[in-house]
């Protein structure tokens, strides 16, 4: 059946089998291979994307169920090709060694971004809870927690700078 999914801001229309999983829609139909998969049982979270803003395991969503929805993947996080164009969570993972083999990373990034959008100052415990549906076999999670905290602090600092710039702009 024909579906249209808005992926990373762009609508994509495809004729798909009803049984096609969203993971495979992204990887095989749209060649967005940044979304990975690692199990059959909705356990590992390597396939995590945002569906209408909410992080979900795309291996357990049919592509047809996403018809008309907005899907965001790791490929849509950065605004350009420069290092400065990276999303703060991407910068955080690089700075704090929040990844090793990189396989769980796209899913972790999407969950982290969604968390910070809801809670700009999450505690380490909150971060651990938020990523507890995702398996990382390399990092032992500690540096992922640090990475998300780094991003939270970077965004807070950026907001503070923006606010003070605005304030000084008003006074002058």
Partner 1 sequence: MEGVRPPEEWIRAAAETPRGYGAMKRKEDARFVRGRGRYVDDVVLPGMLHGAVLRSPLAHARIVAIDTSAAEAHPRVRAVITGETLAVLGLAWMPTLMQDTQAVLATDKVRFQGQEVAFVVADDHYAARDALDLIDVEYEPLPPTIDARRALEPDAPVVRDDQEGRTDNHVFDWSSGDAAATDAVFAEAAARPDQQVIGADVLYPRVHPAPLETCGAVADMDPVTGKLTLWTTTQAPHAHRTIYAMVAGLPEHKIRVVSPDIGGGFGNKVGIYPGYVCAIVASIVTGVPVKWMEDRSENLMSTSFARDYHMRGEVAVTADGRLRAVRVHVLADHGAFNATAQPTAFPAGFFGVFTGSYDLEAAHCAVTGVYTHKAPGGVAYACSFRITEAVYLIERLVDVVAHDLGMDPAELRRRNLLRPDQFPYRSATGWEYDSGDYPHTLQVALEKAGYDELRREQAELWRRHAAGEDVPLRGIGLSFFTEAVGAGPRRTMDILGLGMADGAELRVHPTGKAVLRVSCQSQGQGHETTFAQVVAAELGISPDDVEVVHGDTDQTPFGLGTYGSRSTPVSGAATAIVARKVRERAKIVAAAMMEAELEDLEWRHGSWAVRGVEGASRTLAEIALAAHSDLELPEGVEGHLDATTVYNPPNLTYPCGAYVCVVDVDPGTGEVHVRRFVAVDDCGVRINPMIVEGQVHGGLADGVGMALMQSIAFDLEGNCLGGSFMDYLLPTALECPSWELGETVTPSPHHPIGAKGVGESATVGSPPAVVNAVIDALSPYGVRHADMPLTPAAVWRAMQGRPLRTDLAIS
Partner 2 sequence: MQVPASFAYERASSVRDALDLLRRHGPDARPIAGGHSLLPMMKLRLAEPTVLVDLGGLAELAGVAIEGTNIRFGAMTRHADVLASPVVAEHLPILVDAERVIADPLVRNRGTVGGSLCQADPSEDLSAAFSALRASVVISGTNGDRVVAVRDFHRGPYETAVAHDELVTDVLVPIRPRTGSAYAKVERRAGDWAVAAAGAVLTLDGDRIADAGIGLAAVGATHFVAVEAEESLRGAPATPASFTTAGALAAEHVRPVADQRGPVDYKRHLVEVLVTRTLTRAAARARGEA
- Given the rule CB under 8 A, which residues bind partner 1? 17, 19-20, 24, 27, 31-41, 43-44, 46, 73-75, 77-78, 83, 86, 90, 93-97, 99-106, 109, 123-124, 127-129, 131-146, 149-150
- Which of partner 2, partner 1, none does residue 124 bind (CB under 5 to 8 Å by kind)? partner 1
Nearer Cβ to partner 1 (5/150): 150
- Which of partner 2, partner 1, none does residue 55 bind (CB under 5 to 8 Å by kind)? partner 2
Q: Which residue has the tokens 């704090």?
A: 96
DSSP-derived pairing of the beta strands 70-72 and 48-51: antiparallel
| Contact call for residues 132 and 57 (beta carbons, < 8 A) | no
CB of 90 to partner 1, least distance (A): 4
Which SS3 state, helix, strand or coil, does residue 125 take? Answer: helix
Nearer Cβ to partner 2 (77/110): 110
Q: Which residues pair with 126 in a beta bridge?
A: none
How far apart are the C-alpha atoms of 71 and 67, rounded to whole Å?
10
- Which of partner 1, partner 2, none does residue 29 bind (CB under 5 to 8 Å by kind)? none
CB of 59 to partner 2, least distance (A): 6
How far apart are the C-alpha atoms of 49 and 8, rounded to whole Å?
11
Nearer Cβ to partner 2 (48/91): 48
For residue 5, count other CB atoms closer than 10 A to its CB: 24
Please state the length of the chain. Answer: 172
- Which pair of structure tokens corresponds to residue 138? 């390399």
List Cβ neighbours of 19 (8 Å cut-off, separation of 6 or more).
62
- Which of partner 1, partner 2, none does residue 56 bind (CB under 5 to 8 Å by kind)? partner 2
Binding site residues, partner 2, CB under 8 A = 1, 17-19, 21, 23-24, 37, 39-43, 45, 48, 54-57, 59-62, 64-65, 67, 111, 129-130, 132-134
How far apart are the C-alpha atoms of 70 and 75, rounded to whole Å?
14
Nearer Cβ to partner 1 (16/165): 16
């Amino acid at each position: 059946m024909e579906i249209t999914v808005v992926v990373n801001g762009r609508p994509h229309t495809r004729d798909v089998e009803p049984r096609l999983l969203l993971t495979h829609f992204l990887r095989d139909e749209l060649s967005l291979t940044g979304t990975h998969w690692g199990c059959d049982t909705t356990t590992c979270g390597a396939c995590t994307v945002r569906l209408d803003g909410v992080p979900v395991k795309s291996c357990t969503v049919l592509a047809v169920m996403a018809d008309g929805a907005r899907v965001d993947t790791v490929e849509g996080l950065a605004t350009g090709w420069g290092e400065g164009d990276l999303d703060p969570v991407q910068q955080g993972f690089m700075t704090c060694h929040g990844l090793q083999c990189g396989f769980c990373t796209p899913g972790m990034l999407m969950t982290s971004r969604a968390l910070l959008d809801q809670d700009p100052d999450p505690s380490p415990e909150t971060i651990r809870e938020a990523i507890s549906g995702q398996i990382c076999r390399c990092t032992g999670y500690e540096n992922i927690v640090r990475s998300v905290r780094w991003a939270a602090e970077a965004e807070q600092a950026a907001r503070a700078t923006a606010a003070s710039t605005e304030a000084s702009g008003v006074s002058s």
